[in-house]
Amino acid sequence: MRLISPEKMKHLEKLSSPGHVISALAIDQRGSLKKMIQRDQSSADLAQQIESFKAAVSKQLTPYVSSILLDPEYGLKAARHRASEAGLLLAYEETGYEATEPGRLPDLLPTWSAKRLKEQGADAVKFLLYFDVDEAEEINQQKYAFVERIGSECQAEEIPFFLEIVTYDANIADASSREYARLKPNKVNQAMKKFSEPRFNVDILKVEVPVNMNYVASYSKDVEPVYTLAQAKEYFKEQEASTDLPYIYLSAGVSMDLFKETLRLAHQSGAKFNGVLCGRATWKDAVPEFVHGGLDQVIDWLNDQGRQNIEALNEVLVETASAWDEKVGVYGKA
C-alpha cells in the first residue's frame, strides 16, 4: 500500500465519490478544442469562445461527476463555475509537443507551478507525458528527470500528482493503425510499470487501456482483429499486475458506447481500475451546438445528452470500478 500525507488524502477524497472512485470530467483540451471550434467558423474571439464553452460544460455537468480537469490558460473561469462538491484538477503541461524534434519532449506552462496551481484551488496537478518505452535511452532519461521534478514539486506542496501517459512508437506515425495495435499492450503496461516506481512520487496514473478496442475480436467492425478476446483479457490482467498505484482510464476520444464496453471488458478481465477521467466522449457533440446555436443551445444539449452520457457512465462505474483506498493509506495510521 502506498502511503500519502493527510493533506494529500484530503485532496484525493475531494476528487472522488463517497465510495473512493474517481468519476472525473476532462476538458483541459486546448489545441484540439480550438480546431473543433474552428472547423465550421473563424472567430476573432476564439479565446473567449473556448472559455465560455468550458464554463458551460463545467457548470452544467459537474453536479454529476466527482471532479473536473481543466487548464489554467482557458479554464479558470470554468473552475469557478463548477459544482461546490466537485474537486478540481489543473493541467501543468503545455498543449501538444514540438513535432519537428524527436522524442515528443514535454514542457511546462511557463508561468505556472504546483504551488500556483494549488493557490488557484487545485486538488491535484495533472501532467501529460508522451512516452515510448522503446525510444532512445537519452530521450527517455530526459523524461524520467522531468517527471521526477514534478513529483518532487507536488510532494513539497502536498498535492496529489496525476500522471497521464499517452504511448506511441517513434517509428509509427499512426497510433490508431493495425501496426501500432500489435505493440500497444507492451507499450502501455511497461510505461505503467516504470512510472509506478516510488522515485517519481506519482499518486494516480491516468492511462490508456492496453488494447485498441477496434481490433479486439467481437468489438472490431469490418476489420480483421489483431487480438482474440482471450488475448485482450490477458493484456488487461497484465496491466493490473504492472502497478501498485491507483489508476484511472482516459477515454482517448472514443465513442461513449465503446468506452462503456471497454470498462466492462476491463472489469471482466480482472483489472481493478479506480475510475475514469473522461473527456471528449462526454461533450464533443456539444461543440457543433455551441458553434451554430450559441450558448443557450449548448446548455440545452449539456442538460440533456451531456447529462445522459455522464449518468450512463456512472452506472457502468458502479458495476466495474474499484475503490482506490485499497491501494492508498495515510502516514502514521495503523
Distance of CA 321 to the CA centre of its chain: 15
Place of cell 516510488: 198
What are the counts of helices (DSSP H) followed by strands (DSSP E) for the chain?
Answer: 12, 10
Burial class (CB in 10 A: 0-12, 13-18, 19+), 32: middle
For residue 54, pLDDT beyond 70: yes
For residue 104, pLDDT beyond 70: yes
- DSSP H helices in the chain: 6-14, 31-38, 46-61, 76-80, 114-119, 137-157, 178-195, 229-241, 256-269, 280-283, 286-301, 307-320
For residue 334, pLDDT beyond 60: no
Which three cell numbers, joined as nine digits, stand for 251?
A: 477515454
Q: Give the pLDDT score at 146.
A: 97
The span from the CA of 35 to the CA of 40, in Å, is 9
The span from the CA of 254 to the CA of 134, in Å, is 26
pLDDT in tens, 22-39: 999 999 999 999 999 988
Indicate the pLDDT class of residue 236, thresholds 50, 70 and 90.
very high
Angle of helix 229-241 versus helix 178-195 axis, rounded to 10: 20
Which three cell numbers, joined as nine digits, stand for 120?
A: 488557484
The span from the CA of 251 to the CA of 260, in Å, is 9
pLDDT in tens, 237-257: 999 999 999 999 999 888 899
The span from the CA of 126 to the CA of 148, in Å, is 14
pLDDT in tens, 175-226: 999 999 999 999 999 999 999 999 999 999 999 999 999 999 999 888 999 9
What is the reported pTM?
Answer: 0.97
Place of cell 493509506: 329
Contact assessment for residue 66 and residue 21, using Cβ atoms and an 8 Å cutoff: yes
* DSSP 8-state code for residue 302: I
pLDDT in tens, 273-315: 999 999 999 999 999 999 989 999 999 999 999 999 999 999 9
Q: Give the pLDDT score at 99.
A: 78
Contact assessment for residue 143 and residue 106, using Cβ atoms and an 8 Å cutoff: yes
Helix (H) or strand (E) holding 161: strand 161-167
Contact assessment for residue 199 and residue 148, using Cβ atoms and an 8 Å cutoff: yes
Mean pLDDT of 55-63: 98
CA dihedral 122, 125, 130, 131 (to 10 degrees): -160
pLDDT in tens, 67-102: 999 999 999 999 999 999 999 999 999 998 877 889
